Every structure is written in structure tokens, then in C-alpha cells.
Structure 1
Amino acid sequence: MDGILLVDKPENITSNYLVQKIKKHLKKTTEKDIKVGHTGTLDYFASGLMVITIGKATRLTEYFQGLDKEYIATGELGKVTDTYDRQGRLIEKKECSIDRETLKKIILSFKKTYFQVPPPFSSKRVEGKRAYQLAKKGIQVSLKPKKVTIYSIHILNIDIPFFTIKVHCSSGTYIRSLIKEIGDETGCGAYVTSLRRTKVGHFRVENAVRLEELLQMTEEEIKSRLIDIKDALYFFTEILLDPGFDERFIKGQRFKVPYKEKGLVKVLDKNYRFLGIGEIKENQILQPVKVFV
């Protein structure tokens, strides 16, 4: 069983817990130990799309992590928590008398590329430890800003002190930080009351299976929901190898190909069988990176 599974994570479970539940269910239904992974965590309190890798697809996690994301988030003005979300401890409270039009302008001003500071309660590593592990101990850490892009930001609702937005952003963007930054600009502060991931690249939550449904599925039902590895890697340029060269690729050999693209490519044989990931270097030399046959 190899491929990508789109799962709708419920609120109030960790991403790792979701993976372990799926792994346990697959073992029960297939009587085999099947590798299961994910391509990007969701906060404990958040819900929405998780791209789950099954079997051989777990070797491709790094390629999916860089896909852009879409979220729907609700923030509350006038309050700040230490985690920037509803799970955290309230550390600041202010009166907020901002009007709707001013709030709209502030929200829409975040459609840009800028350097964003991750929340102190995040999975970023600081001297070998996760930032949230240090934050829980009351240790203040200085996290490096990361360049992020907000491609689009749509206002879905404003009912002050609450506002709901839909955000299309680059990988690595923290919506908790974005909501707090919006709050900072208003002078009121803000934190996230709800968060839902709706898209990862071209993958949509509408096409995902809810965890509780998945845990009732048979092996065949789960297989019918799997996205083939070849199709899941839609964001890679596809190249075909002639007979003979496919065997050379499988054996890890380098050779020249009639393609001018450079960088990582999805490699298929003439029958469109997925062989793996390669990298086309200078002088059109194909270097096998990950072989799947």
C-alpha cells in the first residue's frame, strides 16, 4: 500500500496522534506494518487537511512540505495569549475600539512578502531543542524571522472583536503569528480562536476523509482513497526514459537525457511507470536521487 492519503484532522488531537491512529488501523486491516507519515503538522486545536504519506510515499515527505497552504482563521482582538491561540495563557487584555474599515485596511495590508517571527510555542529548533519545550519551562528564546509570502488574504467576516479571514500563503507561514501581527497593528493585540487548513498545494480538504470515517474503512476502501505517488507529484516536471535507460536509472547510474530542464524531475519509463526522482544537472546529465523500483 503506497501513496498519498488526504485526511481531515479533527480539533484537539496532535498530528502525531492522528498518524499513530492511522498506522494502527492499517496494521489491523492489512495485518502488516505499513509506514505512515505526514507532510506538515497542524496545531493541536486546529482542524483540516493533512497530507498523509503511506508506504513508499514516506520517502517523499520533504517534497510535499514546501507546497503553499490555505487556511481559514478567526481571531479575537483585545486579548493576547502566550501561545497566540486559544490554548494559551492570557497575558494581555486591552480595550479595542477600532472601526471596521480601519481593521479591513490593516488585514489587507498583510498581502505581501515579509519576515515573520515564529511564535515562541512552535516546533522551531533552538540549540537542538524545540522552541515550545523551552517556552513551557519559561525560557525566553529569540527565534529568527523567516521570509514568508501571503499570496492572498480575504475577509470572510468581521464582528468586532472577532474577525475571520481566508489566507493563501507560502510554506512556513504561521497563522498564529499573522493574527497576532494584525492585532499588534490595531494596537489591541489578538489571538487565534479557531484555525482550519483547507488546502495544501492542489490538495483540498473537500477531498479528504474524516479520521473517524477512515478508522471504519476496510483495506480496499482505503486503497480506493489513495492518490498514486506519480499523480501526487504533480508539481514536478515529468520525463520519460527509453528502454535501457530506465534500467540504468534504476541501478543509480548517471547519463545524458534529451531534456533541457534543470533541477528535480519525476522519472517514468515509456509505459508511464514511476521510477523515482532524478535531478538534471549541467550538460543534461540525469542523476538518480530516489529510486522506487
Structure 2
Amino acid sequence: MINGIINVYKEKGYTSHDVVARLRGILHQKKIGHTGTLDPDAEGVLPVCLGKGTKLCGLLTDKRKTYEAVLHLGLDTDTQDISGVVKRECEVRVSQEEVRACMESFVGEQMQIPPMYSALKVKGKKLYELAREGIEVERQPRPVTFYEIRILSMELPFVRFSVTCSKGTYIRTLCHDIGEKLGCMGCMESLLRTRVDRFDIQDSLKLSAIEEKKIQGKLEEAIVSVEEMFADYPAFYAAETFTKMLKNGNAIPAEKPEHTGRVRMYTETGIFVGLYEWQEVKGQYKPVTIFSSPEDFHSAGALQKTT
């Protein structure tokens, strides 16, 4: 089984689920999960977790993301993007300076109302399913953060911009809200995700390229290991007496530890166990997420006997 994360370039027309399904066929393994939905019309970075890496799906979903989008002023659609039905057309009389000032006003913490055409659930039913039935329900605004909004080019009614934002943010809703604030309405013309945490679009691979690497036996080059994902955390090597406790997923006592936050936990022999966090009151490292399995300890033991 392949374990880790692969930086996939999701092409237009694919759903995130489609990407996972294709990868299962290419890699011949079932344990695969994506790290956050991209609309079928959107393109760009989609980190996909493999094997033990699937435990990272939630962690990566929470990370900040960067997009390049095109705002189309003067159009209001039911989906808030260009693929939807046009509800209104407005004349665009705003100046570039007004557009710039308006977009800059969205930087920081905001309250955003999720669109009806989204996968959020209300009473067990997805919003887009209700929308397709012609049903609109009240949605509660949710806090989101725009860390940076940078205009790349402007030829009204089109504005191409880059935005870095928090999890749960809808860029098409941002486009809609900008247009509404300007008084001329707006929708999203296109969307390209350029970064998710450490995963950049320059390093992403289309499914065809991944398949080619698999055929050539070079797939490992494209896999980021689970251990690498925690490279910013210090390493802690537990004494041999605690190996059984680590194998069973228990907390590890420690006296005057050098690192008192989160650490990469290893056995004395160097088996990567997982992410642990120091608990001052109990004087121990408590597991946050464990990535090792009993097989890792057995194989390590066998290796030691033969060396």
C-alpha cells in the first residue's frame, strides 16, 4: 500500500470524487481520500491522501488556501458563477479605483452566507439538491478570513485576482458579495486553486502524469510522506521501555522534556509513530494522531534480528 500525500492537478470537468476514483484505478488501492472539494468547473491543486495519509484529510482541509479567480461584474446568477442561470444583468459604471477599494475592504475576518449551490447539508439534505428542486432555505452566515486579496489585472467588467483565505470559504460567494457591494452585481467567471498549505500548483501532477510515473516505477518521487508533513515539529525519541506503550497507542510519560508543544514521536529505533502533544499537568506526551500500525513494529523487529 502507498502511504502519503500526492499533489494532484484537478482538471476542469472532474469532481474531487472523480479524481479519487481514477486514482484508485491507477494505484490499485482503495484507501484514498481528498482534502477538500473543488467544483467541477474549477481547476488546480487537490492534495490527495493515500493509505495511512488519509488520517491527514481533515488536517489539510483546515489549512489556508490560495486561488486565482476572475470576477465578472454586471451578472447575477443562481449559482454565483458563470455556469448558472442569469437572474439579472446590470450596467457596470464603477471605476477601477472603486473596484480596488471595494475588494480591499473584504480583507480580514468576514461573515459569509454559504451559497445554495453547495454541498452543505440542512436536515440531512445537501443544499444543491434543494436548489435543484427550486427550494431556497435560510443559511446562517459563517466566519471566514481573507488573508490577502490582490488584483492581478482589470479590464472591466472582468477582474482577475488572487485570494488567500481560510477553510470553508466560497470564492464565488466572494465574487457575488463584491458585485453586490459595488451595486452592479457579479459572479465568478473562473477559478484556479494555486496552493493548499505546502502544496503548490507548480509541483502538481495531472492524472495522466501520475499514471505515467506509476508505469515507469517513479511514483515515489511524487509522494510526500506522512512524516514529512510534520517536519516543522521537533522529533522526540522515546526510550526502549516505552515501545510497547507506543505500539498500543498510549501516552508516554517524560521528565523535563526538551519540547513542550507538539512533537513527532519515534521509538528508540526510529519508527515514526505519530503526532503527540505535551500535557504539563500529567507530565506526559498524549497522542494526537497515530500513523504507525502493529505491522511497523513487527517488521522493524524482524529487521533488527537479521542485522
Q: TM-score, normalised by structure 1?
A: 0.92
Q: Match of 1:225, as an amino acid?
A: A
Aligned to 2:8: 7
Q: What is the CA–CA distance in structure 1 between the aligned matches of 2:37 and 2:172, rounded to whole Å?
A: 14
The alpha carbon displacement at 1:222 in A equals 1.6
Q: Sequence identity, in percent?
A: 30
Instruction: Please state if 1:280 is matched with 2:281.
Output: no
Q: How does 1:242-253 map to 2 (within 5 A)?
A: 242-253=239-250
Aligned to 2:47: 51
Aligned to 1:213: 209
Q: Hey, which bits of structure 1, 4+ residues long, moved more than 6 A?
A: none
Aligned to 2:141: 145
Q: What is the CA–CA distance in structure 1 between the aligned matches of 2:283 and 2:197, rounded to whole Å?
A: 28
Aligned to 2:96: 100
Q: What is the CA–CA distance in structure 2 between the aligned matches of 1:260 and 1:86, rounded to whole Å?
A: 51
Aligned to 2:296: none
The RMSD of aligned alpha carbons is 1.8
Q: Match of 2:207, as an amino acid?
A: L
Q: How does 1:34-183 map to 2 (within 5 A)?
A: 34-183=30-179
**Alpha-carbon deviations, 1:209-248, whole Å to 9, x = none?**
1222223332622222100111023465643323222431
Measured at CA, do residues 19 and 283 of structure 1 come closer, stay the same or move farther in structure 2, by a change above 3 Å? same
Q: What is the CA–CA distance in structure 2 between the aligned matches of 1:59 and 1:288, rounded to whole Å?
A: 13
**Alpha-carbon deviations, 1:83-122, whole Å to 9, x = none?**
1112211111111111111111111111111111111111
Q: What is the CA–CA distance in structure 2 between the aligned matches of 1:130 and 1:236, rounded to whole Å?
A: 38
The aligned length equals: 287
Q: Which runs of 5+ in 1 are unaligned?
A: 28-32
**Alpha-carbon deviations, 1:48-81, whole Å to 9, x = none?**
0000001111122111111100000001000011
The alpha carbon displacement at 1:40 in A equals 0.6
The alpha carbon displacement at 1:191 in A equals 0.6
Task: Give the SS at the match of 2:220.
Answer: helix
Q: Which runs of 5+ in 2 are unaligned?
A: 294-307
Measured at CA, do residues 246 and 189 of structure 1 come closer, stay the same or move farther in structure 2, by a change above 3 Å? farther
The alpha carbon displacement at 1:272 in A equals 4.5
**Alpha-carbon deviations, 1:172-214, whole Å to 9, x = none?**
1111111111111110111111100001112111111122222
2:260, 2:277 within 8 Å by CA — same for their partners in 1?
no
Aligned to 1:254: 251
1:249, 1:288 within 8 Å by CA — same for their partners in 2?
no
Q: What is the CA–CA distance in structure 2 between the aligned matches of 1:259 and 1:34, rounded to whole Å?
A: 40
Q: What is the CA–CA distance in structure 1 between the aligned matches of 2:188 and 2:235, rounded to whole Å?
A: 40
Q: Match of 2:267, as an amino acid?
A: D
1:86, 1:193 within 8 Å by CA — same for their partners in 2?
yes
Instruction: Please state if 1:232 is matched with 2:233.
Output: no
> Which of residues 153, 176, 181 is equivalent to 1:185?
181
Task: Give the SS at the match of 1:215.
Answer: helix
Q: Match of 1:256, as an amino acid?
A: P
Measured at CA, do residues 83 and 236 of structure 1 come closer, stay the same or move farther in structure 2, by a change above 3 Å? farther
Instruction: Please state if 1:223 is matched with 2:220.
Output: yes
Q: Match of 1:285, as an amino acid?
A: Q
Task: Give the SS at the match of 1:37.
Answer: strand
1:120, 1:132 within 8 Å by CA — same for their partners in 2?
yes
Q: What is the CA–CA distance in structure 1 between the aligned matches of 2:258 and 2:128, rounded to whole Å?
A: 46
Q: How does 1:264-275 map to 2 (within 5 A)?
A: 265-270=263-268, 272-275=270-273
**Alpha-carbon deviations, 1:32-59, whole Å to 9, x = none?**
x341110111111000000000111112
**Alpha-carbon deviations, 1:112-147, whole Å to 9, x = none?**
111111111111111111111111111112222111
Q: TM-score, normalised by structure 2?
A: 0.88
The alpha carbon displacement at 1:256 in A equals 2.1
